[in-house]
């Protein structure tokens, strides 16, 4: 029998053509509705491979149910929804989709920064609602981006690409990361600083750090108090790195000037969430990599990783390197 692949969202068949040609493939029938947990567990129990989204919890329960699982391809760079250690113990390869979405996510991140700085959403809505009645010298005046200081927290590939965008605006670039990036410093003029120094000096604090036990809730009320009162906070990483109550309180107390958010602790965010009541918050529905090109590339990379594993080859983007060592030993 052909290996069985379950895909947790409805995808264009062209993007997963190799899988359809070589394996038995079943897709959840909805594009915009998450697969129910009970269905996912049932499918995992008979699947050789899972093609998942970041909305699915790939935990011990699911991995135990998947007795035949050889690979899980997660359509995201981050894999905080996956218990990687448990998967490795069970001999299951975990793959993600780095690189192919770097530029798209960096574009969105910088666009979010500019949108929050220049009050673009406020201005667009004012026009649409028929409230543009006059003009004054400080009418919808925002903040300059050019020649200001951007502080990037999490200087991975996306962070470096955002920094590259910032050079076009003659921005001063600070960054904080677990490890220094000498090449980024040389090529982009980025300056490595402590977290506290970044907070105190940046006009724009951009969060691009992965979600880990160490980074969960790292942007607390104390952290926001260390930022300039004129600063804008941008988060295009994961919602849970931010204490959302603390962010709301900081904005209400004018401890920071505004926020641009593409991610939230719980997604989709509730329409009555306090952050959404504030005019100086730009909120997007987690669309960092949402271009047709990037999303298609992500789908194809997931398909290629599954195909490789099921055919006995090393995948292109393996998260748990220990798995490869075990397979080869």
Structure confidence by residue, pLDDT tens digits, 126-148: 999 999 999 999 999 999 999 99
Number of domains making up the chain: 2
pLDDT tens by residue, 171-229? 999 999 999 999 999 999 999 999 999 999 999 999 999 999 999 999 999 999 999 99
Whether 238 sits among the annotated catalytic residues: the reply is yes
149 and 236 both lie in a single domain: yes
Residue 95 pairs in a beta bridge with 73, 318
Whether 286 sits among the annotated catalytic residues: the reply is yes
Structure tokens at 177: 């990361």
155 and 14 both lie in a single domain: no
pLDDT value at 54 more than 70: yes
92 and 156 both lie in a single domain: no
List helix spans (H) across the chain.
17-22, 37-46, 60-65, 84-89, 102-117, 120-128, 157-167, 182-188, 195-201, 221-225, 244-252, 292-310, 321-328
pLDDT tens by residue, 10-31? 999 999 999 999 999 999 999 9
User: Average model confidence (pLDDT) for the chain?
Assistant: 97
pLDDT value at 120 more than 70: yes
107 and 248 both lie in a single domain: yes
184 and 152 both lie in a single domain: yes
194 and 73 both lie in a single domain: no
Residue 49 phi, psi (nearest 5): -145, 145
CATH of the domain at 79: 3.40.50.720
Cis peptide bond N-terminal to 69, omega within 30: no
302 and 237 both lie in a single domain: no
Whether 146 sits among the annotated catalytic residues: the reply is no
For residue 324, what pLDDT band results from cuts at 50, 70 and 90? confident
Which domain, by its residues, includes 196? Answer: 102-283
Cβ-based neighbours of 62, under 8 Å, separated by 6 or more: 40, 41, 44
Residue 262 phi, psi (nearest 5): -105, -10
- Candidates 9, 165, 238, 295; catalytic one: 238
* Whole-number pLDDT of residue 325: 78
pLDDT tens by residue, 90-119? 999 999 999 999 999 999 999 999 999 999
173 and 275 both lie in a single domain: yes
275 and 126 both lie in a single domain: yes
pLDDT tens by residue, 213-269? 999 999 999 999 999 999 999 999 999 999 999 999 999 999 999 999 999 999 999
User: What are the b/e assignments for 2-41, b being 16+ CB within 10 Å?
Assistant: ebbbbbbbebeeebbeebeeebebebbeeeeeebeeeebe
- Candidates 267, 270, 313, 326; catalytic one: 267
Count, in order, helices (H) and strands (E) of the chain: 13, 12
* Whole-number pLDDT of residue 63: 98
298 and 241 both lie in a single domain: no
Q: Are 118 and 257 in contact (CB under 8 A)?
A: no
- Candidates 43, 286, 295, 304; catalytic one: 286
Taking each helix axis from N to C end, the angle separating 102-117 and 120-128, rounded to the nearest 10 degrees, works out to: 70
114 and 236 both lie in a single domain: yes
Tokens 């990783």 correspond to what residue? 305
For residue 329, what pLDDT band results from cuts at 50, 70 and 90? low
Q: Answer yes or no: pTM beyond 0.85.
A: yes
Question: What is the percent of the chain with per-residue pLDDT over 90, rounded to a whole number?
Answer: 98
The number of beta carbons lying within 10 Å of the beta carbon of residue 261 is: 24
């Amino acid at each position: 029998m052909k290996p069985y692949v379950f895909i947790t969202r409805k995808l264009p068949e062209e993007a997963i053509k190799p899988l359809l040609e070589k394996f038995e493939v079943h897709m959840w029938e909805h594009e915009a509705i998450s697969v129910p947990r009970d269905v996912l567990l049932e499918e995992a129990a008979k699947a050789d491979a899972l093609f998942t989204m970041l909305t699915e919890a790939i935990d011990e329960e699911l991995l135990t149910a998947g007795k035949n699982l050889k690979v899980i391809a997660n359509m995201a760079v981050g894999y905080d929804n996956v218990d990687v250690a448990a998967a490795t113990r069970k001999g299951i390869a975990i793959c993600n989709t780095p690189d192919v979405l770097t530029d798209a996510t960096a574009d969105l991140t910088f666009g979010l920064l500019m949108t929050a700085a220049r009050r673009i959403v406020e201005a667009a809505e004012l026009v649409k609602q028929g409230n543009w009645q006059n003009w004054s010298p400080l009418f919808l005046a925002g903040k300059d981006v050019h020649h200001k200081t951007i502080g990037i927290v999490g200087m991975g590939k996306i962070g470096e690409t955002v920094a590259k965008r910032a050079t076009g605006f003659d921005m001063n670039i600070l960054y904080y990361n677990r490890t220094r990036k000498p090449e980024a410093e040389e090529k982009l003029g980025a300056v490595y600083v402590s977290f506290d120094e970044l907070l105190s000096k940046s006009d724009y604090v951009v969060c691009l750090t992965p979600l880990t036990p160490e980074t969960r809730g790292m942007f607390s009320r104390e952290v926001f108090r260390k930022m300039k009162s004129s600063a804008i906070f941008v988060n295009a990483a994961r919602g849970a790195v931010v204490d959302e109550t603390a962010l709301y309180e900081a904005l209400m107390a004018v401890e920071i000037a505004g926020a641009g958010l593409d991610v939230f602790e719980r997604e989709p965010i509730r329409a009555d969430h306090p952050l959404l009541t504030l005019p100086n918050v730009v909120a997007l529905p987690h669309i960092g990599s949402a271009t047709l090109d990037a999303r298609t590339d992500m789908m194809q990379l997931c398909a290629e990783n599954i195909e490789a594993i099921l055919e006995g080859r090393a995948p292109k983007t393996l998260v748990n390197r220990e798995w490869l060592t075990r397979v080869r030993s």
